[in-house]
């Protein structure tokens, strides 16, 4: 299914950290009293974004409402940017990542005014299967990454756990295999998402009595 285009007139503001949602089961305590947990690798991304100025006079309310109509609740999918930057500012010796899309704002309310510190996109050096959690990169490009940095491929999102030379360890495991030469997006990571359910679709239409902002709660989209 084709992704629904997010109107360029909308400004999305990330309101919380992207989190990997788990579904851990517990049958209770064992004979020895220890808590028992049953886990599988079923983690998926979730986050909440605010839609700025969509309710302000002269804002983009019409475009936002039309966008929600297109989504058909949780049935439709769309891609949104994920800010990938170092909060320490320019004084750090490491790179400063900033998503420079026009419809993304930082948590302090400012639009994207910072500039990427060069081309940080990476190329895969060794093919990796679905389920892998380590990728070998070409040309020492992994040096631009650090724990917590994001990259994406095919609009699937990954967060770096550690970097050792050209090897990048990350979460969650690869959703699908990657081949040699595949470009991993670090400059402009994106993730394909959907609204989790009909209740989230209803909540996306709500605003406060004082023209408060609309909120989009999203989860990672797998059925595409």
DSSP string, 130-177: TT--EEEBSTTGGGG--TT-EEEETTEEEEEEEEETTEEEEES--SS-
Residue 171 has pLDDT above 50, yes or no: yes
Question: Is the Cα torsion angle 96, 97, 102, 103 positive or negative in sign?
Answer: negative
pLDDT level of residue 2 (50, 70, 90 thresholds): confident
39: confidence class by pLDDT, cuts 50, 70, 90? confident
Residue 101 pLDDT: 47
- Domain 90-102+113-187 in CATH 3.40.50: no
Helix and strand numbers, DSSP H then E, in the chain? 2, 15
Q: What CA–CA distance (Å, rounded) separates 93 from 1?
A: 43
94-141 confidence digits (pLDDT tens): 433 344 444 555 444 444 433 444 566 889 999 999 999 999 999 776
Cα 102 to Cα 125: distance, rounded to the nearest angstrom: 32
pLDDT, tens digit, for every residue of 139-158?
Answer: 776 777 888 888 999 999 99
List Cα–Cα distances, 176 to 3, 128, 155, 186, 188, in angstroms. Answer: 19, 9, 11, 18, 20
Within the chain, all domains assigned CATH 2.40.30 are found at 90-102+113-187
pLDDT score at 174: 97
What percent of the chain stands above pLDDT 90? 42
């Amino acid at each position: 299914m084709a992704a629904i285009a997010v109107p360029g007139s909308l400004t999305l503001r990330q309101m919380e950290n992207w989190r990997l949602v788990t579904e851990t089961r517990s049958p209770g305590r064992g004979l020895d009293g220890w808590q028992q947990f049953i886990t599988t690798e079923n983690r998926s991304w979730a986050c909440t974004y605010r839609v700025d100025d969509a309710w302000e006079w002269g804002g983009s309310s019409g475009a936002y409402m039309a966008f929600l109509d297109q989504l058909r609740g949780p049935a439709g999918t769309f891609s949104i940017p994920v800010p990938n930057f170092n909060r320490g500012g320019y004084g750090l010796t490491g790179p400063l990542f900033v998503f420079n899309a026009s419809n993304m704002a930082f948590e302090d309310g400012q639009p994207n005014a910072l500039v990427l510190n060069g081309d940080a996109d990476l190329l895969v050096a060794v093919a990796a299967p679905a389920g892998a959690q380590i990728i070998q990169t070409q040309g020492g490009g992994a040096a631009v990454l650090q724990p917590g940095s994001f990259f994406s491929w095919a609009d699937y999102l990954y967060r770096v756990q550690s970097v050792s030379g050209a090897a990048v360890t990350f979460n969650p495991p690869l959703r699908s295999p990657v081949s040699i030469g595949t470009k991993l997006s670090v400059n402009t990571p994106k993730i394909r998402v959907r609204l989790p359910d009909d209740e989230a679709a209803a909540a996306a239409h709500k605003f406060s009595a004082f023209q408060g902002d609309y909120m989009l709660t999203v989860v990672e989209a797998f059925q595409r």
